Amino acid sequence: MKKFIVLICGLLLLTSYSCKSGNNVKNMKKENTAVAKESASNDFTGIVLSTMDASRYTYVEYKTPDGKTLWAAVLQTKLNKGDKIRLINARPMQNFKSETLGKTFDLIYFAEGVEVNGEKNTSNPHKMAMKMPEDGFHSGKNPHISQDIADIDTSKIEKLKDGVSIKELIEKPENFKGKTVKLRGVVVKFLPAIMGKNWIHLKDASTNKDITATTKEKFKVGDIVEIEGKVETKKDFGFGYYYDILIEDVKKIGN
C-alpha cells in the first residue's frame, strides 16, 4: 500500500512538472513571437536623419527605436531632420540599386505613405500606390509589363535535346519547381539592373508566350541563346513583380 501511495505521489509530481514545463514552452513561444512582432514594428518607425529627393520620390534615412539605421522610399514628402515618422504599408527590398542616386541599398522599405509627427501625409491626393521608383526602367509600373516584347520570328527555335520548351514550363510549372533546366530561346526583352539583377524574356517555337528569367549576365534582344537556370514558381517580389514561373540565376551554355 505504501509503495502504491509513493507511486501515485510520484506521478502527480511528474504531471505537475510536465504542465509547468509545457506552460514555460508556450510562454517562451509567445515571448519570442512578441519580440519578433515588436522588432518588425520598430523597423517602420523612427527619427529622420537625412533625406534625398529623386523624381517623384523621397528617400529617407532614419533611426529606429532599437537603434538601427534604415532607409525607406515614399512618394515625395517634405521631411525634416528630427521628424518622427511611421511607414504605412511598407515592404522590404534587398540590394536595390537606384540609378538616379547612384547608390545601392542593402535594405530599403518602400511605403505607400508616411505618418509625420503623428499626422498622415496628405501630399498624395490621388492616393497613388507606391511602386518602383523612377530610376531608369523603374517607371512606376512593372517594366516587364510596360515595355513591349520585340516582334521576332521564333518558328525555327526548337528546344534542346536535353532541354525543355517554354510551353512545357508554362503549362506545368509545378513539375519543374526547384529543378535546374536547360532552354533554347530568343531574347525578346532585356531589362538591366532591377533589384540587383538583369531580367530577360525568352520565346521559342513551342508557344506565343514568353518566359521571364533573372541573370547576372548581359543579353541582347534578338540573340538566340542556350541557357541554364533554376525554376521557381509563384514568386512574389512585391510591387507588381509576381510570376507563376520564373527561371533564376540563368547562365549561358554552349557557344
Positions of the chain with pLDDT under 50? 4, 6-7, 10-11, 13-15, 17-22, 25-26, 28-39, 122-143, 145-146
Residue range 159-177, pLDDT digits in tens: 999 999 999 999 999 999 9
Backbone conformation region of residue 91, classed left if phi is above 0, alpha if psi is from -120 to 50, else beta: beta
User: Has residue 17 been placed in a domain?
Assistant: no
158 and 244 assigned to the same domain: yes
Q: What is the rounded average pLDDT for all residues in the chain? A: 78
User: Has residue 6 been placed in a domain?
Assistant: no
User: Has residue 217 been placed in a domain?
Assistant: yes
Residues of the domain holding 108: 45-120
User: Has residue 25 been placed in a domain?
Assistant: no
In 162-251, alpha helices (H): 166-171
Determine the Cα–Cα distance for residues 57 and 239; give it in Å rounded to an integer: 15
How many domains is the chain built from? 2
Q: pTM for the complete prediction?
A: 0.49
Determine the Cα–Cα distance for residues 79 and 70; give it in Å rounded to an integer: 15
User: Has residue 169 been placed in a domain?
Assistant: yes
Strand 103-116 with 84-98, pairing: antiparallel
- pLDDT of the residue at 239: 52
Determine the Cα–Cα distance for residues 111 and 131; give it in Å rounded to an integer: 9
- 58 near 76, Cβ under 8 Å? yes
245 and 160 assigned to the same domain: yes
185 and 235 assigned to the same domain: yes
User: Has residue 239 been placed in a domain?
Assistant: yes
63 and 108 assigned to the same domain: yes
Return the CATH number at 189: 2.40.50.140
Residue 220: enclosing H or E segment and its boundaries? Answer: none
156 and 219 assigned to the same domain: yes
Residue range 180-205, pLDDT digits in tens: 999 999 999 998 877 778 999 999 99
Determine the Cα–Cα distance for residues 168 and 201; give it in Å rounded to an integer: 16
User: Has residue 28 been placed in a domain?
Assistant: no
175 and 96 assigned to the same domain: no
